Amino acid sequence: METYNKLKQLGKGTFGTVYLCERIHNKLKIVVKEINGDLDNKQVEVAKNEVAVLKALNHPNVIQYYDSYLKNGTFFIVMEYAKHGNLYELINRSKPNFIEKDKILSIFVQTLMGLDHIHSKSIIHRDMKCENVLLTGINGDIVKIGDFGISKILEMNYGKTNTIIGTTNYLAPEICDGQPYDTKSDIWSLGCILYELCALERLYSGSMSSVIVAIKAGRRKRINVDILGSELQRIIDSMVEVNPALRPTTTALLAHSFIYPITHTLMLSLGNIPSA
């Protein structure tokens, strides 16, 4: 930490504290996550998992990993800083009006491209939600997926996991049922995010029990198709299919006739190429 100055605390969770810092030599703002001192086995496992995930990823729409180290019993993870906050904050700022369709599509497709890269590395994010879709760039027009603390690298033999984890409002039905799940659970969550961008409200809200009942029943709300068009509604519906086998993959969504032209334009502007 001698190479950084702490500027302010950004957040605090079960396992540690996140700070906005500034590199002394070049004034670059970065995020430093400090995992609590006197690490027990669970905390060490969580910290090492996050670093393993971050090291595996390198994409314009994923928060960049810089460094990690252990010092005096505290584990540090150094990452890119997204200076324009997150999608949750943008949605709240936009109420009671709306977000323009072009901006919705740009945010959604950039998030989709980042998620495609994550899935190409056999990683499930497991906590896709508006708070973890970060905004940076000059005008907040570049999207970065962040917070990989509960992500999981899938075992190649099975490609599924069954740990019940994530944020209730964005949980896929198979997770609510305690069934094995794979990357299609992230697709469900991204469908919820797209709805929230369009409607400025959560697709599923209320008490935990009522949310889980609604998710398992596959209840849906409608966006304003008069303003946003029916194609966006169809894309949302495809992503929140109760049966995960019926949900599209990130690759299929990127190749969708409605989405592909936007994807192509964004790839050129970001200097990005499709993941293998």
CATH 3.40.980.10 fits 87-270, yes or no: no
Q: Which of 102, 116, 127, 177 is catalytic?
A: 127
Residue ranges covered by each domain of the chain: 4-80, 87-270
Q: Residue 135: which residues within 8 A CB-CB, separation 6 or more?
A: 82, 84, 85, 86, 87, 90, 141, 142, 143, 144
Q: Is 33 annotated as a binding residue?
A: yes
pLDDT tens string 2-51 = 688 999 998 876 667 889 999 998 889 999 988 875 656 666 677 777 78
The answer to whether 127 is a known catalytic residue is: yes
Is cis: bond before 96, omega within 30 of 0? yes
DSSP for residue 214: H
pLDDT tens string 234-275 = 999 999 999 999 999 999 999 999 998 888 888 887 775 444
The CATH superfamily label for domain 4-80 reads Phosphorylase Kinase; domain 1 (3.30.200.20)
pLDDT for res 157: 39
Q: CA–CA separation, 88 vs 115, rounded Å?
A: 18
